[in-house]
Structure formats: C-alpha cells, structure tokens
Chains A and B, each alone.
Chain A
Amino acid sequence: GQSLEQPSEVTAVEGAIVQINCTYQTSGFYGLSWYQQHDGGAPTFLSYNALDGLEETGRFSSFLSRSDSYGYLLLQELQMKDSASYFCAVLIGGYNKLIFGAGTRLAVHP
C-alpha cells in the first residue's frame, strides 16, 4: 500500500515564506507532485519532482529526496490568494497512478 503524511494545517502572514512537508511510503515510486485546490475549485498542478533536488517555478519551489522518502513545497512572498489546500501526491508504477495525501490547509492572514 501507500501512505503519505503532511501537516493538516499551516498558518502564515502575507509576504512570509512557508514550507509544507510530505513524507511517503510506497512501492513503485516514480515521482512526487504538488497540487493546489481552492475551496469549491478543481485541483491545479503546481510541480513534479522525479529526481532529487529543487525545482523552482516562480514563487513556488518543490524539493525531493528519494533516499529520505521526503519532499516539500516552498511558497514564498505569500499572498492572500495562496490560501488553499495543498496536496502532495505520489506517482506510482507504470500506469500513471497518482495517489494524493490528505492535504494541508494553508491560511494566509494580513
């Protein structure tokens, strides 16, 4: 089976930096993805890491350590619109099987 762990809630202020961690246990691991979902909206793809290291896309960065079965999403220069749920998700096996973690609810305050 698979298991992913991430914090249930994170609170931060506008302009700050926040890191959301994700640890996973799974067989057939291919890579780690991050998705954002606003209340009432669809999940939106943020990033994907297949290899160890840091991937940067604008204000968002994602990191993966395969040896530690660990990754994180780093959000910089937080804005109110970043208040949403953030899911880490593992890609498993050879059949595009993407399994989501429970999600982290980020609240950004003024």
Chain B
Amino acid sequence: DTEVTQTPKHLVMGMTNKKSLKCEQHMGHRAMYWYKQKAKKPPELMFVYSYEKLSINESVPSRFSPECPNSSLLNLHLHALQPEDSALYLCASSQAGQGTNYGYTFGSGTRLTVV
C-alpha cells in the first residue's frame, strides 16, 4: 500500500459546527503532516507529527486541533471555523528522522467549505 487516504473528500460546514478530517497510511511512515492549500497557492504547513508526537505547530489557530491516535492515523478536528478557512486540506506522510527526506506522500485532500 503506497497511498495516503483522506476522508471525507468534500466537506461543507457551518461556522458553529464541529467536524473532523481523517487521514490514514499503511506505509510504515512515522512522520505525518497537515497542510492547507488555497487555490493557486502552495501547500502551507500546519502541523508535523513525528513518532506520534506533535513536533511542529506553525502557529495555527486553536480552532484547528490535530490528533495522532496511532502511527497510521492522523485526525484534524475543526471547531468554530471561519469562511476564510475554506481550502484544500492535505495530509502527507514520510519516513521520519533528522534530515531524511525520501519524499512526502500526499493524500488527495479534503476540500473544505465553511459557510
């Protein structure tokens, strides 16, 4: 299995809703990531998990809450989002370790619309 699977593919939520994005990989990767991508912009790093521990939070607002229940799963919990949070949310995984980069494998993303 060489894929990162993200669910749901599309999500529309109101500003008072609580929802979660899910990401799963079975490549044995011990580093997992959340990126946010707006149209015609590059992916923007949000969070990095290394060996199931949060290692980087790029000053993301607390209405986004990541969780890594085990080495294969990564969640992003959403609460009280704003319309400007509408974007494509990409999950990625890679081998962990300092300076290693055998390439990130990205999921197809969840296209989120906040109304």
Contact = CB atoms under 8 A, between A and B. Distances in A.
Contact of A33 (B55, B101, B107): B101
Interface string A69-108: 0000000000000000001000100111111111100000
Interface size class of B (residues with CB under 8 A): 20 to 34
B68 interface: no
Contacts of A95: 48, 50, 55-56, 98
Interface size class of A (residues with CB under 8 A): 20 to 34
A94 B42 contact: no
Contacts of B21: none
A52 to B, nearest CB: 15
Interface string A59-73: 000000000000000
A48 interface: yes
**Binding site secondary structure of chain A:** strand
A100 B101 contact: no
B86 interface: no
A91 B101 contact: yes
Interface of B: 31, 33, 41-45, 48, 50, 55-56, 90, 92, 94, 96-109
Interface of A: 30-31, 33, 35, 41-45, 48, 50, 87, 91, 94-103
